[in-house]
Homo-oligomer: A and B are copies of this chain.
Amino acid sequence: MSGLLTDLYELTMAAGFYEAGKSAERATFELSIRRLPKDRKFVIAAGLHKVVDFLLGLSFLEEEVEYLRGLPQFKLVSNGFFDALRKLRFTGDLFAVPEGTPVFAGEPVLTVRAPVIEAQLPETYLLAAVTFESLIATKAARVVDAAGGRPVVEFGTRRAHTAEAGVLGARAAYIGGCLGTSNTLAGFRYGIPVYGTAAHSWVMSFHGETEAFRQLQKLLGEHTIQLIDTYDTLQGARRAAGLGRPLWGVRIDSGEFVSLSRQVRSILDSAGLRDARIMASGDLNEYKIRDLVQAGAPIDSFGVGTELATSFDAPSMGTIYKLVEQDVGGIKRYTLKLSEDKTTLPGAKQIFRFPDRDVLARAEECSSGSEALLRPVILGGRLIEQLPDAHAARRRAAEALRNLPPEPYRVERSRQLEALVEQARRNLA
């Protein structure tokens, strides 16, 4: 992928590292969750597949190099740097938490170790990929939890921040526990189950709702979900019921769901369609779904769009990508940042996950009785094995969510890490 897919300062810094003779220095950066999204107690890690795509594809086209050379910020930069960009490939290492893993505040989700320019440039892309996909996977987990076992389908592509966000969001929502998505390209690309039947325009395009319903039934057979709220929901329910089987069920997309779903259930039951299901959609989120479930609304599945595709109540979170370690000709240097409220911990790390707590440790430490969450993914610029796919990530998330320890989640630091923090602070003073 284009090396220009980044903030300009990554490129001016790259030039600066080159000009300062630091190209050969190796740097270790960590991407961590500094602050959880609002009202979240954990985040489901996602986005690693795009991180890998970016690192393995990182390169510059000739016209991109020429574009940079023409910018005022590069007028003092020597030709050697532009030649280096032309040849640039990622030759470093990537360690990462597998997709579908719940992580807590202060924990790193990936580590990049590479010659400093290769490690610096990906910052912007990596932050965007991990932040967005993790937000959506996390939101999905909340919605699915609220639905208490009723399937949730992701319907949000039309509200996603670009069509590409719709595709990647659909995948992340699936990892977070959704049954599937309406996004067809996500189905094609990632093998995610796709769902959907007809919109209001379908109903409106026929002479009369009954004719529209009949045509849909002919088309979809047992997969038919009649959308019954275009004109009047109960009248729509009666018309759908009148046509009988084949019918998966009906969808209500507006109105007061508790009373409507009860009345619709009764209409379906009276017509002998006890197996026909009711799906609800329209501005739903985890709070509204929990209320519907608690009120005993006879809704069998939920379609969730806007709130899920944008992580509406928490559309961002405080992720950071920080230099934690340098290797200058074999001599290690551990770095940290002391800005107000924005301090970072030095040194490459590992997360050891025990049943009741996480321990943040130095990367070199060992620990028994725990799972080491940060695993090698790319070594020396090569992918060491195929990443687990979205299905595997979804299974991992589901299992981890069943086994979360009791709150508050504990993230402790190992003694060796504490000692390194002290040492790095002293060196800075």
Q: Which residues of A contact B (CB under 8 A)?
A: 1-2, 4-13, 15-17, 19-20, 22, 25, 27, 29, 54, 64, 67-68, 71-73, 75-77, 116, 120, 123-125, 127-129, 131-132, 155, 157-169, 182-185, 187-188, 194-202, 204-206, 215-216, 218-221, 223, 229-232, 253-255, 306, 310-312, 315-316, 319, 321-323, 326, 335-342, 428
B182:A7 contact, CB within 8 angstroms: yes
A67:B188 contact, CB within 8 angstroms: yes
For the complex of A and B, the 7 pairs showing the least CB-CB separation, nearest first, are A9-B196, A8-B196, A161-B161, A127-B158, A7-B182, A201-B323, A315-B315
From B4, B123, B428, give the contact of A231 (CB < 8 A): B428
A161:B157 contact, CB within 8 angstroms: no
- CA gap between A195 and B72 in the complex, in Å: 10
A128:B160 contact, CB within 8 angstroms: yes
- CA gap between A128 and B254 in the complex, in Å: 21
Closest to A81 in B: B219
- What are the residues of chain B within 8 A of A336 when measuring CB–CB? 204
- CA gap between A225 and B341 in the complex, in Å: 22
- Kindly provide the distance from the CB of A50 to the nearest chain B CB, expressed in whole angstroms: 8
User: Given A8-B195, A9-B199, are A306 and B312 also a contact pair (CB < 8 Å)?
Assistant: no
- What are the residues of chain B within 8 A of A215 when measuring CB–CB? 16, 19-20
- What are the residues of chain B within 8 A of A125 when measuring CB–CB? 163
A316:B162 contact, CB within 8 angstroms: no
From B71, B157, B200, give the contact of A7 (CB < 8 A): B157
B11:A76 contact, CB within 8 angstroms: no
- Kindly provide the distance from the CB of A4 to the nearest chain B CB, expressed in whole angstroms: 4
The oligomer's copy count stands at 2
Closest to A119 in B: B201
B202:A73 contact, CB within 8 angstroms: no
- What are the residues of chain B within 8 A of A254 when measuring CB–CB? 339-342
Closest to A283 in B: B318
Closest to A189 in B: B4
A231:B116 contact, CB within 8 angstroms: no
- What are the residues of chain B within 8 A of A17 when measuring CB–CB? 205
Closest to A21 in B: B215
- CA gap between A219 and B230 in the complex, in Å: 63
- What are the residues of chain B within 8 A of A339 when measuring CB–CB? 200, 229-231, 253-255
In the complex, besides A4-B184, A229-B339, 19 extra interface pairs with C-beta distance below 8 angstroms are A4-B185, A5-B167, A6-B183, A6-B185, A7-B182, A12-B196, A19-B219, A27-B205, A73-B220, A76-B218, A123-B158, A131-B158, A159-B316, A230-B339, A231-B339, A232-B338, A254-B341, A310-B316, A315-B315
- CA gap between A166 and B129 in the complex, in Å: 11
Contact sample, A vs B, 9 pairs, CB 8 Å cutoff: A5-B163, A8-B187, A15-B219, A71-B194, A73-B220, A128-B165, A162-B168, A230-B338, A231-B339
- CA gap between A129 and B124 in the complex, in Å: 22
From B132, B188, B196, B323, give the contact of A161 (CB < 8 A): B132
Closest to A120 in B: B201
A205:B316 contact, CB within 8 angstroms: no
- What are the residues of chain B within 8 A of A185 when measuring CB–CB? 2, 4-6
- What are the residues of chain B within 8 A of A13 when measuring CB–CB? 198-199, 201-202
- CA gap between A83 and B98 in the complex, in Å: 41
- What are the residues of chain B within 8 A of A197 when measuring CB–CB? 9, 12, 73
- CA gap between A232 and B343 in the complex, in Å: 12
- CA gap between A120 and B160 in the complex, in Å: 19
- CA gap between A285 and B77 in the complex, in Å: 34
